[in-house]
Amino acid sequence: MAEGKSGPATDRDFVIARVFDAPREVVFEAFTDPGHMMHWWGPKGSVVVAARMDLRPGGVFHYGMKGPDSGLMWGKFVYREIVAPERLVFVNAFSDEAGDIARHPLNPKWPLELMSTITFDEHADGTLLTIRWATLPSATDEERRTFDAARGGMQQGWTGSLDRLALYLATAMGATRS
């Protein structure tokens, strides 16, 4: 089992990884600059319409996103750990426009908060990005079951987001290695 400051990984965690043809400093910057995140963050077809970030432990990334088939949704990260350019650890939640935690607008049984750990590892082909989502101990049994049942949707959503990131890194950030 992998262990880090965010706690031990469990079989219940959702994990997705991808190698990007870019230096890890560049990939890390794409996750830590709201100007960059506005261009790629979210599932395919979504658009970030507002974003503010206070990148420090205890700081918040608060954003509004319009999905292709949904209205405006708000979300936020509360940063717990930032180790540039290696790791980000934060609590991820849906929110309202004021930044208060809110239920998932499309699934009221979704966990209120998730622990997110993103690692940026050097790789022969660029950067190995690994994202791990885990329910918090405060999650109800129903929220855990909902999380466990949503793995296909999480895989699809993150795949779309990471596809958008790959395109953004290759074009806007000029990160492709020679």
- All domains of the chain, ordered by start, with CATH? 14-170 (3.30.530.20)
pLDDT range class, residue 1, cuts 50, 70, 90: very low
**Over the stretch 33-65, which tens digit does the pLDDT of each residue have?**
999 999 999 988 899 999 999 999 999 999 999
Assess contact for 48 and 165: CB atoms under 8 A.
no
Q: Which residues pair with 113 in a beta bridge?
A: 93
Give the Cβ contact number of residue 130 at 10 Å.
15
Q: Under a CB-based contact definition with an 8 Å cutoff, are residues 130 and 43 in contact?
A: no
pLDDT band at 174 (very low <50, low <70, confident <90, very high): low
Share above pLDDT 70 across residues of the chain, in percent, rounded to a whole number: 91
Side-chain-side CA neighbours of residue 81 (13 Å):
14
Average pLDDT of span 125-136: 97
User: Would you state the pLDDT for residue 43?
Assistant: 85
Q: Which residues pair with 81 in a beta bridge?
A: 89
The pLDDT of residue 82 is above 50: yes
Q: Angle at the Cα of 83 (from 131 to 19), degrees rounded to 5?
A: 35
48 bridge partner residues: 65
Residue 7 has pLDDT above 70, yes or no: no
The answer to whether 59 and 34 have CB atoms below 8 angstroms apart is: no
